[in-house]
Amino acid sequence: MNIIRSGYIAIVGRPNVGKSTLLNRLVGEKISIVSRKAQTTRHRITGIVTNADAQYVFVDTPGFQTKYANALNRAMNRGVTQTLSDVDLVLFVIEAGRYDAKDQAVVRLLPKDRPVILVVNKTDQFKDRNELLPFLAKVSADFDYAAIVPVSATKGRQTDQLLAEARKHLPNEGLMFPEDDLTDKSERFLAAEYIREKVFRLLGDELPYSTTVEIEKFEVEGELRRIFAAIVVDREGHKAIVIGKGGESLKRIASEARQDMERLFDSKVYLEIWVKVKSGWNDDERLLKSLGYE
């Protein structure tokens, strides 16, 4: 009989190295939202993978932010450092061929008292794997890693090897969650995240960073979910941009978010979204707490 190992595993790294894509690939569902823009993830997102001999409880963290010093980014950075102190294992994700001061800032946060696996993502960008070897030698010099695993999260390459390597460092705890669970986050939370993902994907470069999403009502009626949500913006001028000409932008955000929710929840979704202004929401500690930021 196989011994069930289980434990908490932090996924950390600078913004935009593919942490959320890796989590979704490992779990097999879109638990953590993704976009091409950096700093899409704002919360600690838990994804659970259970197989015959292990349960992996992955915690996807926001990319560690050094550029802006508002209350939102302070809260996100606190989330990263808190997660690092709570887990059994750390996956430090970097991008193949790219390693700079932003990555080294995260290296300085890595715990010395628990194992850290270096995950080199986006290796599909290299045609010849031998080209990676000098890069791996360079990055491994900065920290005593338990292992180095090159992967491609988008292609699913070497993710099984990553799980096998991670299992070696998990305690023999038995199952911590029911084996069918994919996350410990509520449907209400996931609905807000799916809407926020569409804001990041469909609106301009800067505006999404000034928005968040508030679920005002979430009702389950048999096989139907009724969801009423507000996209919160920082200033009045942003409201018109989110709504778009003739309401087109808001309609598209709602339509694409609803389709994603129906796939994940495996039920029909009635979704109503509006836009409201809360000036300075992203630099107000009390307001951030009310919006679910730790």
3-state SS, one letter per residue, for the chain: CCCCEEEEEEEECCCCCCHHHHHHHHHCCCCCCCCCCCCCCCCCEEEEEECCCEEEEEEECCCCCCCCCCHHHHHHHHHHHHHHHHCCEEEEEEECCECCHHHHHHHCCCCCCCCEEEEEECHHHCCCHHHHHHHHHHHHHHCCCCEEEECECCCCECHHHHHHHHHCCCCCCCCCCCCCCCCCCCHHHHHHHHHHHHHHHHCCCCHHHHEEEEEEEEEEECCEEEEEEEEEECCHHHHHHHHCHHHHHHHHHHHHHHHHHHHHHCCEEEEEEEEEECCCHHHCHHHHHHCCCC
Give the model's confidence band at 180: pLDDT under 50 very low, under 70 low, under 90 confident, else very high.
confident
Do 26 and 127 lie in one domain? The reply is: yes
The CATH number covering residue 20 comes to 3.40.50.300
Tokens 């919360």 -> residue: 43
Domain count for the chain, please give it.
Answer: 2
- pLDDT at residue 294 in the model: 53
User: Are both 156 and 191 inside the same structural domain?
Assistant: no
Domain span at 239: 187-290
Average pLDDT for 275-286: 73
User: Residues 161, 243: one domain?
Assistant: no
Residues 120 and 235 in one domain: no
Does pTM surpass 0.85? no
Residues 42 and 148 in one domain: yes
Judged against a pLDDT cut of 70, whether residue 76 lies above it is answered with no
pLDDT tens digit string along 91-142?
999 999 999 988 998 898 888 889 999 999 999 888 777 788 899 999 999 9
pLDDT higher at 269 or 110: 269
Residues 131-173: pLDDT tens digits? Answer: 888 999 999 999 999 999 999 999 999 999 999 999 999 997 7
Question: Pick the residue with more confidence: 34 or 224?
Answer: 224
Shared domain for 93 and 195, answered yes or no, is no
Give the pLDDT of residue 284. 59
Q: What is the CATH number of the domain that holds 249?
A: 3.30.300.20
In a domain, 18, yes or no: yes
Does residue 173 fall inside a structural domain? no
Does 120 share its domain with 231? no
Query: Within this chain, do residues 213 and 89 fall inside the same structural domain, yes or no?
Result: no
